[in-house]
Amino acid sequence: MENKITVMDHPLIQHKISLLRDKNTGSKEFRELISEVTLLMSYEATRDLPLKEIEVETPIATAKTKVLAGRKLAFIPILRSGIGMMDGVTMLIPAAKVGHIGIFRDESTSKLTFYYNKMPKDISNRDVIVLDPMLATGETATVAIDKIKQYDPNTIKFMCIIASPEGVRALNNAHPDVQIYCAAIDAKTDENGYIVPGFGDAGDRIFGTN
Ligand code: URA
């Protein structure tokens, strides 16, 4: 199966990813960079939004011009690090609604458990973009999208900043209809679930809890 992934290798994005990778980048700058990269990535992830033609009076003449055709979006950050991507997407698309999904791994059983789940009421009429900075093993993304599909949204996309090859394969296998957007595909995921070389624990670096 061909991988359903778009890698956004724009020079500005690549430059900012290098700063994110640097362990000396502090929390404030890390958070700002995550927002900026997410905003830049949002251009590509929303490239297929439909437009309609309208007429607008300019000071000179009538212009036939285009606006968004009212397709509705919902962003769903996976707690907690997905929250770090919210500023970037809502800056570009402020009218979007926001759902949240919280999943943690029970250390004694290694099982993923949902601890929070709140979706917009009209999610079945919306195109969803799921947000998580890291696509490592792909397990969290897969179970999050399993859950989101129960609400039957129009479409689902997954936007991360760094992906691992095994994460992409796992998510493509589980949800072949979901297009993945990322800014880099790194070498692998290690035995602790971290992407190598990656940029470490995204949640800790965004929220300064390391
Ligand atoms: N989650 C993170 O925060 N970092 C990784 O490298 C992998 C998963």
Cβ(139)–Cβ(170) below 8 Å: yes
Q: How far is the CA of 55 from the centre of ligand 1 (A)?
A: 47
> In the chain, what percentage of residues exceed pLDDT 70?
99
Q: What structural domains does the chain harbor?
A: 5-207 (3.40.50.2020)
Cβ(186)–Cβ(195) below 8 Å: yes
Between 67-71, 72-76, 119-123, the lowest mean confidence (pLDDT) is in 67-71
pLDDT at 6 over 70: yes
The per-residue pLDDT for 108 is 81
194 lines ligand 1 (CB under 6 A): yes
Running DSSP on this structure, what letter comes out for residue 69?
-
Rounded Cα distance between 134 and 194, Å, is 9
The closest residue, in CA terms, to atom 4 on ligand 1 is: 201
Nearest-atom index, ligand 1, CA of 199:
6
The per-residue pLDDT for 2 is 66
195 lines ligand 1 (CB under 6 A): yes
Indicate the pLDDT class of residue 1, thresholds 50, 70 and 90. Answer: low
Running DSSP on this structure, what letter comes out for residue 154?
S
The per-residue pLDDT for 71 is 77
| Interval 71-87 mean pLDDT | 95
Name the nearest CA neighbour of 199 among 36, 35, 22, 34.
22
181 lines ligand 1 (CB under 6 A): no
Q: How far is the CA of 125 from the centre of ligand 1 (A)?
A: 31
Indicate the pLDDT class of residue 70, thresholds 50, 70 and 90. Answer: confident
Give the chain's mean pLDDT. 95
119 lines ligand 1 (CB under 6 A): no
Q: pLDDT for 27-69, tens place per residue?
A: 999 999 999 999 999 999 999 999 999 999 999 999 999 999 9
Cite the beta strand spans of 21-99 per DSSP E. Answer: 51-57, 62-68, 73-79, 97-98
The closest residue, in CA terms, to atom 7 on ligand 1 is: 194
Cβ(7)–Cβ(31) below 8 Å: no
* 48: helix, strand or coil: coil
Q: pLDDT for 147-202, tens place per residue?
A: 999 999 999 999 999 999 999 999 999 999 999 999 999 999 999 999 999 999 99
